[in-house]
Amino acid sequence: MPVSLILALVLFLVVLVTIAKSVRIVPQGEEWVVERLGKYNSTFAPGLNLMIPYLDRVSQRIVTKDMLLDVQEQEVITRDNAVILTNAIAFVKVTDPVKAVYGVVNFSDAIRNLIMTTLRSIVGEMDLDQALSSRDKIKARLRESIADEVLDWGLTVKSVEIQDIKPSLTMQKAMELQASAERERKAAVTRAEGEKQAAILQAEARLESAKRDAEAQVMLAQASAEAIQKVMGAAAGADTSLLYLLGEKYIKALSQLSASPNAKTILLPADLQETLRGVLGKMKV
């Protein structure tokens, strides 16, 4: 084979490789950072791009679509020295590929560590109950805290979500014991309150009953006094009629006592004869 033909083939291959190295097609959703002799030169946008072969090279291929970064679970100590477990996810978008490449070594790891550190700081300022019930507040503060810092890395934090926030196993057991003790305390207070109210009601009932009994006795005494006064007024100056009336009631009471089926023995007053004699004597007079 002639030497000229070999040289022509070699030259053709060199030209073909050169053309292949100078043409770059960037897919949609990516941007390529190009360096020339080790220094940043340009950024290739999606589509067809040309570069100088052997002098230029693609340093980084940056994805410009929203990226999901998973922040691993970590232990956080609250202000009241309680240990809780929390993790998060972040949605991040690269807005400046040059800063993302040259501003930080690995922006994904940098954001994860930044979120973990900021999350520990925010939760550390809260009590346990506040931390467990303030998921939205923690999320908002976390996003505000890291938004300005990641701008220097050419990144935008779209959203930060707290996936889970819960007490550690030891704290869960302690909280269960505390809740059980609180329920027992409330039950004891309720029972004591019920017994107290029952005692008060019983005392009030006894007081009301005593008042009613006293009022009844007073009314009976007043009625008896009025009856006696009426009888005395009706029998004024008529001793015989009064004695006769009393004797009649006396005899009637004795008759009822003797007629009772349960009466086996009847006791008569010792002054029965004198009483009858007095009554009859008065009647003769």
242-281 pLDDT, tens digit per residue, is 555 566 666 666 666 666 565 555 555 555 556 555 555 5
Under 8 Å between Cβ of 34 and 59 = yes
Q: What is the pLDDT of residue 82?
A: 82
Alpha-carbon 118 to chain mean position? 27
For the purposes of burial, counting CB atoms within 10 Å of the CB of 282, is it exposed (0-12), middle (13-18) or buried (19 or more)?
Answer: middle
Q: Which of 74, 224, 99 is nearest to 151 (CA)?
A: 99
pTM: 0.56
pLDDT of residue 232: 65
| Residues 224, 46: Cα–Cα separation, whole Å | 119
> Which residue stretches of the chain have pLDDT < 50?
282-285
Euclidean distance between CA atoms 82 and 167, whole angstroms: 8
What pLDDT, on the 0 to 100 scale, is given for residue 17? 84
